[in-house]
């Protein structure tokens, strides 16, 4: 197998999604957050959402991981982000996936499929693609559904670049 091993983003399992999570609706703002020039915000709520219903499509196949490293920075995945991954989704070319090979920890990469080989690409130009020759044993075991950091801290698990 011809694989470059400079992954620089590893994942730490947090655990599976709950099979029967408690319903915990959170307030949902009545207005959308403007991404351009801000407009005056309305100060009222428009119903509620449950993050389990919003983020988890298939509970038995959904797991959470914490990302470590900066190789997926341009895909919006930063050191310390939480990843919700779904093992029931069949990965296709261009998906952000979790993969393992040669006993490595799971790596978060962009999957590129070719007729004779596969590649795992970082979303950071400082990291070269990982190229696997045909017949290499690589397990692409989950598609990343959501990547978000709940809280950014100056100290703790989030490292500066």
> Hey, which bits of the chain come out as E strands?
10-16, 26-29, 45-49, 62-68, 82-86, 96-101, 107-113, 118-121, 130-132, 138-148
d(CA 76, CA 84): 14
Angle subtended at Cα 143 by Cα 27 and Cα 102, rounded to the nearest 5 degrees: 140
DSSP letter (8 states) at residue 6: -
Instruction: Give catalytic status of residue 151 as yes or no.
Output: no
| Tokens coding 56 | 């988890």
The residue from 32, 39, 88, 109 that is catalytic is 109
The residue from 39, 68, 71, 122 that is catalytic is 71
Instruction: Give catalytic status of residue 68 as yes or no.
Output: no
List, by residue number, the catalytic residues: 71, 109
């Amino acid at each position: 197998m011809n694989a470059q091993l400079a992954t620089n983003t590893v994942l730490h399992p947090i655990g599976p999604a709950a099979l029967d999570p408690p319903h915990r609706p959170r307030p949902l703002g009545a207005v959308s957050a403007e991404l351009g020039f801000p407009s005056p915000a309305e100060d009222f709520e428009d119903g509620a959402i449950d993050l389990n219903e919003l983020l988890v499509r298939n509970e038995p196949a959904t797991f959470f991981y914490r990302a470590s490293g900066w190789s997926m920075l341009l895909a919006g995945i930063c050191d310390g982000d939480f990843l919700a991954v779904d093992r029931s989704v069949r990965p296709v070319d261009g998906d952000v996936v979790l993969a393992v090979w040669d006993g490595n920890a799971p790596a978060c990469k962009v999957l590129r499929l070719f007729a004779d080989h596969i590649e795992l690409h970082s979303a950071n130009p400082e990291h070269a693609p990982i190229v696997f020759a045909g017949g290499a044993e690589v397990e692409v075991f989950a598609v990343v559904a959501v990547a978000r950091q709940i809280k950014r801290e100056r100290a703790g698990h989030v490292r500066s670049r």
